Structure 1
Amino acid sequence: MTRNKRTGLAPGRRSKYAMLVFWLVLIAAAGPLAVKLTEVQDNDTLGALPATAEASRALQRAEEAFPDSRKPLAVAVYVRAGGLTDADRAKAEADRTAFLGYADSGQVPPPVPSEDGQALLLSFPVAGDAGQRADAVADIKAQLENAPAGLRTALTGPAAAEDDVFDAFAGMDATLLLATAATVALLLLVTYRSPVLWLIPLVTVALANQLASAVVYLLARHAGLAVDFQSQSILTVLVFGVGVDYALLLIARYREELRRHADRHAAMAVALRRSYGAIGASAATVALGLLCLLAADLPSTRGLGPVGAVGIAAAFLAMTTLLPAVLVIFGRWLFWPFVPRYSPDAVKLDVAAEHGVWRRIAGFVGRRPRPVWLSTAAALVALSFGIGNLSIGLPGDETFTTEVGSITGQRMIEAHYPGGTVAPAEVLAAARSADQVVAAARTVPGVAEVGEPEPSPDGRWVRVAAVLTHPPDSDEALATVDRLRDAVHAVPGAQALVGGDTAYLIDEERTVGRDNRIVVPLVLAVVFVILVLLLRALVAPLLLLASVVLSYVAAMGAAGLILDAMGYPKLFVGIPLQTFLFLVALGVDYTIFLATRAREETARLGHRPGVLHALAVTGGVITSAGVVLAATFGALSVLPLVPSVQTAVIISVGVLLDTFLVRSLLVPALALDLGPRTWWPSALARLAGSRPEDGIDAQLKRRPSSRRKAQTAMPASTTIQTPSMTIEVGRAE
């Protein structure tokens, strides 16, 4: 038998070569497109809010009414401890003249001195597109460096921050890819202990990544798909992580079948048939979970969904078509020096030598399942208390893992000017109500200064800058802007809108809160439905879903301890939702791999021996898959952004908890404690405790009367021999 009955994808003697040629042609077409993915990145979505948010509406009005608002502001700061000298002021004036060529309006306002006489500010919008602004910022920084001895200078503001981001991520695409590939290669080499085999899944997943990148590029170019640096980075990590997981699962099953079949084509057909359901359910869970992000309002979160789903689809396709073909083409010698040899008695052989560690773990879980799951759950609950170390809201000056020039300049300004000087709140209102709006703004506690209204060129609108007393990302500033909005909204006919950095933070927090309330239940519902369809039960899916939710909470707590020690306890607002999605969708993968094998073995052996045998034979491969996925996401920590480091820590910790505690101890122990009711309401729940030596498969074919008779005749307990252990099985009560 050389063809997979269920999927029709198992490679035959001729079709394996056709599949290889198909993929070579596909990659030849996809490769040139994949390298263009960075060309369609739109990193503006990383900081964008929904169009309905007040900060977004204020920004749109400002860009329409005031052309200079479309260009990022550069702020040059000059500081001398003890007071500025005449030479310092002359330097600032000379720089002001030099900066005229870079200003969007061709004008640079006079320097603004601080009250303590130790600082000056020059601010102006930078002209040109992104490339021209990058050149201009480089020239401006060079101009600032030529300063009198003792005078500290820095460039900050949105234009400088934009340039710092570009500098920080220069070459990061290649660095992340190399770090991910090196991590996966090392772990595969350790897993297989073969000088050749590890190359096959690594090359296959690299080709899957090329295919995914090409598809995302085409969707971004022609279908309007939003792609940013974050989603592209996660695409790479996701394809490598889940792709290798699928490869490990398939290769492990293929190795088993090679001992049972003399023909490697037949072995692959059986391996594909028996693993395809678990791999397909895993891919569907993660892909559909990612697509749930389309319900989010925050553009960066919403855009991550389709990009990630494309990556999952590419990994699934490559690992169920290309990988089997290549494995069959090369034959058994790929496993050298541990080549699986065909044995007619392989089904009857005790595999304790191969699964020794996990056979002992299964025995430990089987002896006292209730204490095992209670103590494991207690440990996870204890870890969850570490959440208290985390807080939501990452200040702008803590976004990078190392201090950059724009952050240095911001801190210099905060030391000599009111906290909101660099990022004042901006009020946009109808010109006819300008005086009333200014008067209302000046009554708001926490507003240090309200500037004169600046009319738009068409005379319809005014722009009013309101400098806040406190730094723009502080709780006090957030409360001040809320009060400011209430005050100016109350002015009749003003149509006032309040924007700026602090207003953005308020709207971002509210948007994320709304996304959490919508997306989290949606993800849980999708995962639950997939589990019900896969396991044809209700109790087992509820058990698995509850376990991964508990694992997520524990992962956040454990990550709280780690991130606090690293100095990054303030989470970017989008992190909780994104990590929830990945940990629930990816975490349930391992329990899917275990549960599908447990259901298969339960139908053959009975519930208790089936669950324990499934744990023993899948333990090694699932643990390897979990370690690979955790290490792959850990590669995100090479990026110089704190949110990337936070994502790496939370997901890596969560995957390891799922691998070593949830899937290895909690889920099998709970299933044993619940007994055959785990599979309720399927027929397996009624029969899983009956005559395991007869095999449940055979019982399912009996008539109901025979089935009841068999259950009645079952002894109180019976001892059976599974392929990996001898287990005494009690009758289901």
Structure 2
Amino acid sequence: MTKTLLSSNGGTRHNKVAGNNKKWLRILLPALIIIVWFAGGSIGGPYFGKVSEVSSNDPTAYLPSSADATQVQKLLGEFRDSDEIPAVVVFSSTAALDKTDIAAVSQEIAKLPQIPGVGADLSPGIPSEDGRAVQAFVPIQADADIGAVVTAIGTSLRAAVTDGVAVHVTGPAGFTADLIAGFSGIDGILLGVALLAVFIILILVYRSLLLPVAVLATSLFALCVALLSVWWLAKAGILILSGQTQGILFILVIGAATDYSLLYVSRYREELRVSTDKWAASMAAIRKSAEPIAASGGTVIAGLLCLLLSDLKSNSSLGPVAAVGIFFAMLSALSLLPALLYAFGRNAFWPRRPKFEPEVVAAEHGVHATGVWAKLARIIKRRPRLIWMATTAILLVGAFGATTLNVSGVPQSDLVLGASGARDGQAILGEHFPGGTGSPVLVVVPAAELQMAANVMLVQNGIESVSVISADAPSGAATVTTQGLQPMGTPGAAVPKPTLVAGDVMLQGTLESAADSDAAAGVVREIRASLAGTVPDALVGGVTATAVDTNDASIHDRNLIIPVVLVVILLILMMLLRSILAPVLLVMTTVLSFGTALGVAAFFFNHIFDFPGADPAVPLFGFIFLVALGIDYNIFLMTRVREESVKHGTREGIVRGLVITGGVITSAGLVLAATFSALGVIPILFLAQIAFIVAFGVLLDTFIVRSLLVPALSYDIGKTIWWPSKLSGASEGESGDMAPSAHHHS
């Protein structure tokens, strides 16, 4: 008897200790998670204002190292003994400018080195043949704040010139300043618009105040920690950051983290309705949402990392940067959000606190379900084949329009939407001077082949004049004709010597057309073809060549990466769904959706927005985001369908899966479309186009593909959809023995 009492008391004490330990764990673990995330967010928050310290918007910085334009850009600093970026200042007037006006302009130009960041080696004012314009070349130090320096140059000169004379700053530095100004709203406007859009949608979805704040906190802390990680990786030279990459990172993290949070909140609310213990509900919600969230995030990360195969560093750098963001979005949704919601319990949903009502939950998911999604499910049950065939036909018609999308490239002057001082200056420059002034074709050749290469350039249509970089010449370059180098000043004067770098010289060809025009690109391609036969060692670079090499690399990337992404996503889906047929069909529907999004985008770009075209990278980025993100909704749907199919049979599982996930997936799609639409507030053509394609494509995936096409097609096929897994051989309505989860509440 004594032994029994002792044993019993010992057992009681042991249970109390175990209970107390468990209680402390339930308090300490969520608190520790929240503290760690808040610490990471506090450290990472200030880095929003520091991104410019480790980012670059120089196009040549993103070219493959093997490209001619990249190699020429590296040599340019050695030939000119600096890596300064040229600005072209153009003064124009409706009346002819006399010698006094030109002298006054030259005097003002000579004062520009007083502005911090302006180099000392300026050209004097060069009048145009019609006498109504003067141009000057002003070097800007590469490490200066180019936007601020360009603004200061323009302000200083406009204050000094007489009435009736307009001043514009254009050339490479002018366009870089425009790009910097375009990206300047990323830290403030973009983030603010995206967060406001998400907050409004969450308020409408949850009709609660606390829950949207918790979800937004999850997204913001994920973004802060992701930015902190990316900043230091860029600082160490492991990653390259640009304004474009930064904007996409912000949108991806906010959109993805919110989507994953919506999925978890839906599961947690469901578990609170079938369990009285919020810890048990939290653990069950994490366990059941971890697989679809990890699969969705893993799919996006895998698709983004395929960009590492890109020749263009702007693409290959975006892959790991965005992948880091998605990783922290997943981690935040599966750790910080559960900890926050556990801390608040049912009060997180106030004023609509979930009640313990397992019978009601079972009824909602079964044949007696009500609501929009239940009605849609019944329509699909009645006419599955008609629905999926009609939907496919409509999508195919839309996809046909993708053939009209112009993706041959966009002139540099059209990269910024709205007003552009550099674009206006380029247009005025082209009226009075050769269009390519200030952005010449640069050709590096061995010194012994200088004349041979110059002759090739001189006979080329589209080249106005040829010079060679020479430290001896007053302007820094000496004229080259078919008779050789020309003497400086009067006949008989000394002939300048070309600057030599490792036995090479650098020729400059002034283009007749604007450097960013199709005509200029054609000239560069023809020069390269001609030199390949006569001076095979020649390297051709410059602004136009950079654009040509970028376009070529973009086309190569698009053709290589898209098939690789499809294969990678297909393999992930096969592992997730334990099937071959279902993943193949899901990928095909998502690709069809992408084609339709491109077709609709082509119509809007060509006829509504009147865009000048699109960069070849636009379809690639659109594909990466739409296929990787769009497949998320199919993953959310089909993982739940599979879970329900194990218990109720495939066709009933499809109906239940659609009814259960309908609301949460629709909310997730609206959030992602809203966040990508926010990119449209940044006046950069590329981002505006990506914003439209992805936002429209996500809505298409959410409301058409996931709601109609996939459920109807899967219902029509039936259990064969799971081939070759064991589930494909189960009889419809079979339950119980297929998996342990068959007896658990979902």
Normalised by the length of structure 2, the TM-score is 0.87
CA contact (8 A) 2:363 2:369 kept: no
Aligned to 1:553: 595
Query: In the alignment, which residue of structure 2 is the partner of 1:216?
Result: 230
* Residue pair 1:455, 1:461 contacting (<8 A) in 2 also: no
SS of residue paired to 2:338: helix
Indicate yes or no: 2:109 matched with 1:96. yes
Secondary structure of the structure 1 residue equivalent to 2:145: helix
Quote the Cα distance in structure 2 between the aligned partners of 1:287 and 1:325: 25
Equivalent residues in 2 for 1:442-453, closer than 5 Å: 442-451=458-467, 452-453=479-480
- 1:381 aligned to 2:423? no
What does 1:478-517 correspond to in 2, within 5 Å?
Answer: 478-492=521-535, 495-517=537-559
Q: Which residue number corresponds to residue 525 of structure 1? A: 567
Give 2:339's aligned residue: 325
d(CA) in 1 for partners of 2:663, 2:119: 65
Q: 1:347 to 1:457 in 2, by over 3 A?
A: closer
Alpha-carbon separation, structure 1, partners of 2:661 and 2:271:
14
Tell me which of 410, 425, 444 is aligned to 1:409.
425
CA displacement at 1:569 relative to structure 2: 5.0
Q: Which moved more, 1:454-463 or 1:531-540?
A: 454-463
Structure 2 CA distance for partners of 1:53 and 1:539, relative to 1, 3 Å: same
1:148 CA displacement: 1.9
Deviation at 1:549, TM superposition (A): 0.8
CA apart distance, 1:133: 8.0
- Please list every run of 5 or more consecutive structure 2 residues that lacks an aligned counterpart in the other structure: 1-21, 468-478, 481-496
Structure 1 contact 46–300 (Cα < 8 Å) conserved: no
User: CA RMSD for the aligned pairs?
Assistant: 2.5
**Structure 1 residues 360, 53: closer, same or farther in 2, change over 3 A?**
same
> Equivalent residue for 1:669?
712
SS at 1:55 equivalent: helix
Higher mean C-alpha displacement, 392-401 vs 80-89: 80-89
Between Structure 1 and Structure 2, how many residues are aligned? 688
TM superposition shift of 1:31: 4.2
What's 1:711 paired with? none
CA distance in 2, matches of 1:39, 1:107: 27
CA distance in 1, matches of 2:628, 2:502: 54
Q: CA distance change for structure 1 residues 505 and 589 in 2, over 3 Å: closer, same or farther?
A: same
**Secondary structure, in 3 states, of the residue corresponding to 2:534?**
coil
The answer as to whether partners of 1:104 and 1:128 remain within 8 angstroms in 2 is: no
Of 189-198 and 38-47, the range deviating more from structure 2: 38-47
Secondary structure at the counterpart of residue 603 of structure 1: helix
State the shift of 1:86 in Å.
Answer: 4.2
**Structure 1 residue aligned with 2:139:** 125
- Cα deviations by residue, 1:647-671 (Å, 9 ceiling, x for unpaired): 1111101111110111111111111
Q: 1:394 corresponds to which letter in structure 2?
A: V
Measured after TM superposition, the shift of residue 252 of structure 1 is: 1.0
For 1:28 and 1:416, locate their aligned partners in 2 and report how far apart those are by CA, in whole Å.
Answer: 55
CA-CA distance at 1:221 after TM superposition: 2.5
Report the alpha carbon displacement of residue 388 of structure 1 after superposing the two structures with TM. Answer: 4.4
What CA distance in whole angstroms lies between the structure 2 residues aligned with 1:344 and 1:171?
Answer: 49
**1:535 aligned to which of 577, 580, 585:** 577
User: Is 1:438 the equivalent of 2:477?
Assistant: no
Distance 2:59 2:452 in 1: 35
* Equivalent residue in structure 2 for 1:645, among 659, 669, 688: 688
Q: Do the aligned partners of 2:447 and 2:500 also contact (CA within 8 Å) in 1?
A: no
Given that 1:537 and 1:680 are in contact with CA atoms closer than 8 Å, whether structure 2 keeps it comes out as yes
Equivalent residue of 2:208, what SS? Answer: coil
Separation in structure 1 between the aligned mates of residue 45 and residue 183 of structure 2, nearest angstrom: 23
Classify the secondary structure of the residue corresponding to 1:197.
helix
C-alpha contact 2:346 2:353 (8 A) present in aligned 1:
yes
One-letter identity of the residue aligned with 2:87: A
Decide whether the 8 Å contact of 2:413 with 2:516 is kept in 1.
no
Residue 46 of structure 1: how far off its partner (Å): 7.5
Q: Distance in 2 between matches of 1:238 and 1:273?
A: 24
TM-superposed CA distance for 1:207, in Å, is: 1.1
Q: Deviations over 1:398-423 (max 9, x none)?
A: 11112221111111011222332342
Match of residue 629 from structure 1: 672
**CA distance, structure 2, for counterparts of residue 477 and residue 27 of structure 1:** 48
1:714 aligned residue: none
The answer as to whether partners of 1:489 and 1:497 remain within 8 angstroms in 2 is: no
Contact kept in structure 1, 2:108 and 2:160, CA below 8 Å? no
Partner of 1:41: 55
Query: Which residue number in structure 1 is paired with residue 436 of structure 2?
Result: 420
Answer whether contact 1:37 1:216 (CA < 8 A) is retained. Answer: no
Aligned pair partner of 1:169 in 174, 177, 183: 183
Map of 1:681 onto structure 2 = 724
Taking the aligned partners of 1:184 and 1:684, their CA distance within structure 2 comes to: 38
Q: How does 1:547-586 map to 2 (within 5 A)?
A: 547-564=589-606, 565-568=608-611, 570-586=613-629
Cα gap change, 1:407/1:267 in structure 2, threshold over 3 Å: closer, same or farther?
same
Cα 1:325/1:458, change in 2 over 3 Å: closer
CA–CA distance in structure 1, aligned partners of residues 100 and 250 of structure 2: 52
Q: Which of 79, 82, 88 is equivalent to 2:92?
A: 79
Cα separation, partners in 2 of 1:549 and 1:166, compared to 1, 3 Å? same
Among 143, 148, 156, the alignment partner of 2:170 is 156
> Hey, what's the Cα distance between the residues in 1 that align with 2:391 and 2:61?
40
State how far apart, in whole Å, the 1-side matches of 2:620 and 2:539 are. Answer: 29
- Kept in 2, the 8 Å contact 1:208–1:318? The answer is yes
| Alignment partner of 1:395 out of 390, 411, 422 | 411
Which deviates further from its counterpart, 537-546 or 383-392? Answer: 383-392
Q: Return the alpha-carbon distance in structure 2 between the equivalents of residues 125 and 587 of structure 1.
A: 47
Superposition deviation, residue 313 in structure 1:
0.8
Is 1:600 matched up with 2:614? no
Q: SS state of the match for residue 58, structure 2? A: helix
State which drifts further: 245-254 or 450-459: 450-459
2:38 maps to which residue? 24
Distance 1:295 1:29 in 2: 33
Q: What are the Cα deviations for residues 481-522 of structure 1, in whole angstroms up to 9, with x where unaligned?
A: 111112223335x73221122211221121112211221122
In structure 1, what is the equivalent of residue 246 of structure 2? 232
Structure 2 SS opposite 1:129: coil
C-alpha displacement of 1:159? 2.0
Aligned residues of 1:285 and 1:585 also touching (Cα < 8 A): yes
Amino acid at match of 1:402: G
Q: What displacement does 1:35 show? A: 5.3
Larger CA deviation: 472-481 vs 150-159: 472-481
Preserved contact between residue 60 and residue 69 of structure 2 (Cα < 8 Å): no
Q: Using a 3 Å threshold, how does the CA distance of structure 1 residues 354 and 31 change in structure 2: closer, same or farther? A: farther
Q: Which residue of 1 aligns with 2:373?
A: 358
Cα separation, partners in 2 of 1:254 and 1:566, compared to 1, 3 Å? same
User: How much does 1:605 deviate?
Assistant: 0.7
- Residue identity in the other structure for 2:561: V
The letter for the 2-side match of 1:551 is S
Q: Take 2:310 and 2:269, find their aligned partners in 1: how far apart are those partners?
A: 43
Distance in 2, matches of 1:535 and 1:206, equals: 31
Between 1:537-546 and 1:287-296, the stretch displaced more is: 287-296
The structure-2 alpha-carbon separation of the partners of 1:188 and 1:158, relative to structure 1 and needing over 3 Å to count, comes to same
Shift, 1:117, TM fit: 2.7
Out of 127-136 and 377-386, give the one that drifted further: 127-136
Task: Give the structure 2 partner of residue 245 of structure 1.
Answer: 259
The counterpart of 1:655, out of the listed 689, 693, 698, is: 698
Q: Aligned AA for 1:657? A: L
Letter in 2 for 1:89: I
CA distance in 1 between partners of 2:532 and 2:514 (Å): 23
1:275-299 per-position Cα deviation (integer Å, ceiling 9, x unaligned): 2111110010011111111111101
TM-score normalised according to structure 1 size: 0.89
- List per-residue Cα deviations over 1:675-720 (Å, max 9, x = no partner): 2111000011111x34x1x41x42579xxxxxxxxxxxxxxxxxxx
Between the aligned residues of both structures, percent identity stands at 37
In structure 2, relative to structure 1, the CA distance for the partners of 1:48 and 1:273 (3 Å cut) is closer
Unpaired segments ≥5 residues, structure 1: 1-7, 702-722, 725-733
Partner of 2:657: 614
- 2:503 is matched with which residue? 460
